[in-house]
């Protein structure tokens, strides 16, 4: 029922406006990163692009670092599938190849770089779920009694680290073939 205090209100689920603002602001951030104009991302510029008032953005996210952290958290959640082929080596090869494909996408890489620059330790969000998933693959294997399964630390140093390093610090593309080749080094000959 429309009331005098909210004459223009249309029927929407609770939180609808808040969710729309978030979607518009996230979309603006992604577009600005993809355009790669060389300009720095600022909250007023994001607000203008999203069609919302800068105060709304400041009130909700506080800083560019916090905003990018929120964008990255939703971008890097649930996007990769944890494989379970029955073979640990095959699962690790698939997982590494999927991550290589993801990190060679220019838009993904732009977001990773922006968050490293703006959010310091929050850059963790770019890889926290990947590490959890790697851990799940290895834990499952340890539970199956596979004594050859590497430790999580070895797998992080030997798979995640070269993938992110090559993507972020070099001009080489992390290819799926190269990513798969990293897995061999985790298993003693």
The minimum distance between CB 115 and its own copies, in angstroms, equals 8
For its own copies, which is the closer residue by CB, 20 or 187?
Answer: 187
The minimum distance between CB 8 and its own copies, in angstroms, equals 37
Backbone angles phi, psi at 132, to 5 degrees: -60, -40
Q: Please tell me the count of residues contacting its own copies according to CB under 8 A.
A: 38
The minimum distance between CB 150 and its own copies, in angstroms, equals 10
Residue 54 Cα to chain centre, angstroms: 25
Residues of this chain, 103-132, that bind its own copies according to CB under 8 A: 110, 113-118, 120-121, 123-124, 126-127
Position of tokens 């249309």? 10
Residues of this chain, 23-82, that bind its own copies according to CB under 8 A: 36, 38, 40, 42, 63-65
Separation of alpha carbons 3 and 12, rounded Å:
15
Separation of alpha carbons 52 and 18, rounded Å:
11
Position of tokens 């993904």? 108
Q: Which residues contact residue 27 at a Cβ distance below 8 angstroms, ignoring those fewer than 6 apart? A: 50
Q: Which positions lie near its own copies, rule CB under 8 A? A: 36, 38, 40, 42, 63-65, 110, 113-118, 120-121, 123-124, 126-127, 154, 156-158, 160-162, 164-166, 168-171, 182, 185, 188-189
């Amino acid at each position: 029922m429309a009331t005098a205090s909210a004459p223009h209100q249309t029927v929407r689920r609770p939180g609808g406006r808040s969710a729309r603002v978030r979607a518009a602001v996230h979309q603006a951030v992604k577009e600005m990163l993809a355009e790669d104009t060389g300009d720095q991302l600022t909250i007023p510029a994001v607000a203008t692009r999203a069609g919302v008032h800068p105060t709304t953005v400041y009130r909700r996210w506080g800083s560019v670092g916090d905003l990018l952290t929120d964008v990255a958290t939703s971008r890097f959640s649930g996007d990769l599938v944890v494989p379970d082929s029955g073979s640990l080596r095959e699962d690790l090869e698939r997982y590494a190849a999927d991550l290589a494909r993801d990190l060679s996408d220019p838009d993904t890489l732009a977001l990773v770089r922006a968050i490293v620059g703006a959010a310091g330790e929050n850059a963790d969000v770019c890889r926290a779920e990947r590490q959890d998933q790697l851990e799940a693959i290895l834990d499952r294997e340890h539970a199956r009694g596979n004594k050859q399964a590497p430790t999580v630390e070895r797998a992080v140093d030997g798979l995640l680290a070269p993938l992110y390093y090559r993507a972020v610090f070099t001009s080489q593309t992390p290819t799926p073939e190269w990513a798969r080749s990293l897995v061999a080094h985790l298993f003693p000959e």
